[in-house]
Amino acid sequence: MTVLFGVFLLTLIVITALAIVQTQHLFVAVILAGIFSLLIAVIFFLLDAADVALTEAAIGAGISTMLFLAALTLTAEYERSGSANRLLALGVVAVTTLIMIYATFDKPRLGDPAAPVQQHVAPWYLEHTPEAIGIPNVVTAVLASFRGYDTLGEVSVILTAGIGVLFLFGAKPRRQSGPQRIAPHEPGRGLRHYLIPRVVGQLLIPFILLFGLYVQFHGDYGPGGGFQAGAIVAAAFILYALLEGEAQILRVLPQRLLTGLIAGGALLYGAVGVAGILLGGSFLDYSVLAANPITGQHIGILLIEAGVGITVTGVLISVFHALAARGSV
């Protein structure tokens, strides 16, 4: 029965994707992309990927929509039609689709336990997580401990992207600087003239932050971890920025602090690795962090998840702020 639900949802996904590509109104495309993201997150959940579904919900449906909208207000709302190579592109796409669908007939069926993917390292991870790491969530164990190098690389990519955006927007001062300094009482800043959303939003922000912390530190036992928590905490601050305007968020989180967060999280991650070397283990080997290897693993995972969360929060808030502040000047 759940297979049928999956098929139904996948069909909806294809319809949504077609509509996204077809519409000329970019706002509509972004709203539909939000729906697309919700659908794909439900699919992930049906396919047993709870952690991924949580990430996709927080990032895809939340942060991504907001970033696209912020960029849209700075660029154009409508796409101009008229592409010279439309037929050629359609031809290429149709042929490739047919070839790829032909290729799928050799793939193992959905959920086949004998498929090659299920044979290699995954059983080892599932078998050794309880004794070597001692936490119930295997995804977190693999992410933070077994494949800690990978995750360090991912954090560096996020760090680099964040620095890139800050450079893009920071290198050149705003064209209309000076008189248009952000005035905190300028009418129409943020949603402040909508009283009810403002009150409810302010009421909710502490709970969202609390939930973000819960996701961060409960990641060992259930779906969660630094990536998801970073996105949720960033969403809470973005809500604050929407309600109170960009000037207010800068007062709460100055750009210097944000830059410090971005670098500090990645540094914390690296420092845990170096601490492993200094204590006589190898890089990112948490077992030496405490007398008992399993306690060491717990400490290591806690620290690096915190590092990931801090970096992700910093990058997402800075990127949003960079886009939104430019729009409101």
Structure tokens at 260: 């410090």
Q: Please tell me whether residue 142 binds another protein under the rule CB under 8 A.
A: yes
Q: Please tell me whether residue 133 binds another protein under the rule CB under 8 A.
A: no
Structure tokens at 1: 């029965």
If the CB atoms of residues 60 and 281 are measured against another protein, the closer one turns out to be: 60
If the CB atoms of residues 66 and 272 are measured against another protein, the closer one turns out to be: 66
* CB neighbours of residue 50 within 10 Å: 15
State the nearest-atom distance from the C-beta of 261 to another protein, in Å.
15
CB 192 within 8 A of CB 245: yes
Cα separation of 128 and 136, whole Å? 11
Structure tokens at 5: 């639900």
State the nearest-atom distance from the C-beta of 61 to another protein, in Å.
6
If the CB atoms of residues 45 and 279 are measured against another protein, the closer one turns out to be: 45
Cα separation of 215 and 243, whole Å? 24
* Nearest residue to 6 (alpha-carbon basis) of 60, 56, 52, 48: 48
Please give the residues from 257 up to 286 whose contact with another protein meets the rule CB under 8 A.
none
Please give the residues from 148 up to 187 whose contact with another protein meets the rule CB under 8 A.
150-151, 154, 157-158, 161-162, 164-165, 168-169, 175
Q: Please tell me whether residue 131 binds another protein under the rule CB under 8 A.
A: no
Cα separation of 248 and 297, whole Å? 40
* Nearest residue to 268 (alpha-carbon basis) of 219, 314, 321, 213: 314
Q: Which of 131, 178, 187, 196 binds another protein (CB under 8 A)?
A: 196
If the CB atoms of residues 14 and 277 are measured against another protein, the closer one turns out to be: 14
Q: Please tell me whether residue 12 binds another protein under the rule CB under 8 A.
A: yes
If the CB atoms of residues 197 and 293 are measured against another protein, the closer one turns out to be: 197
Q: Side chain identity at 176, as an amino acid letter? A: Q
Please give the residues from 48 up to 87 whose contact with another protein meets the rule CB under 8 A.
48-77, 79-80, 82-86
Please give the residues from 236 up to 255 whose contact with another protein meets the rule CB under 8 A.
236, 238-239, 242-243
State the nearest-atom distance from the C-beta of 293 to another protein, in Å.
19
Per-residue DSSP letter, 281: S
Q: Please tell me whether residue 291 binds another protein under the rule CB under 8 A.
A: no
Cα-based angle 307, 313, 314 (whole degrees, multiple of 5): 90
